[in-house]
Amino acid sequence: MEYPLSLPRDGRTIVVIGSSTGGARTLEVVFSQFPLVDAAVILVQHMPHSMNSALCRHIEEISFMDVRVPEDGEEIEHGTIYVAPSDLHLKLVENRTISLFDDAKVQYVRPSIDVAMMSLTRRGTDRFAGVILSGMGSDGAEGISHIKSIGGTTFAQALRTCAIHYMPRAAFATGRVDQMLPPDAIRENIIRFAGII
């Protein structure tokens, strides 16, 4: 599958990655030597609050992206990975600004991958990709369907490569996943989709 590498000047490219149990190993592969891409990457990882800073530091060490836990009201920028903080939902307002809030858990989790993905809206020349990695439960399945419905590109981790395959399996069951891929191929497809700065 080929993707355009150029981004219209007035558009945003947003990649939302959802990960849970077993996802840390996959993220190690996805972000190893990950170049500075022409996209904002939102990572929703189910994890204890104490791991937020450590995960950011590790991804920043192995990639060329700026990595941080965002603040409420922060405007997204290309070339940055935003790690959703534990215990708070994250959504994007008009595909531009991050909103953090502590509403009830969705699919038994907070932050919820579904909440983040479903906040994306069809807007101008904005482009979207959604990715579901290893994890328990079905968080992200509804979000993947939404991203596909607004013209986005969708991937899920190949089941044979998952420590826990339930989240990718639930996403695949929606019929809205473009490709099931191993972690190294997910990495390459994200880079191809976004383009390098």
Determine whether 139 is an active site residue. Answer: yes
* 130 bridge partner residues: 16, 154
- By DSSP bridging, strand 127-132 and strand 153-157 are parallel
Determine whether 50 is an active site residue. Answer: no
CA-based max dimension of the chain: 39
Q: Indicate if the alpha-carbon torsion angle 146, 149, 152, 153 is positive or negative.
A: positive
CA distance 165 to 22: 9
List 38, 114, 126, 139, catalytic entry: 139
Within 10 Å of residue 25's Cβ, how many Cβ atoms?
15
Q: How far is CA 52 from the centre of its chain?
A: 16
Question: What dihedral do alpha carbons 67, 71, 72, 74 form, nearest 10°?
Answer: -60
Determine whether 49 is an active site residue. Answer: no
List 46, 78, 89, 146, catalytic entry: 46
Which sequence positions are flagged as catalytic?
20, 46, 139
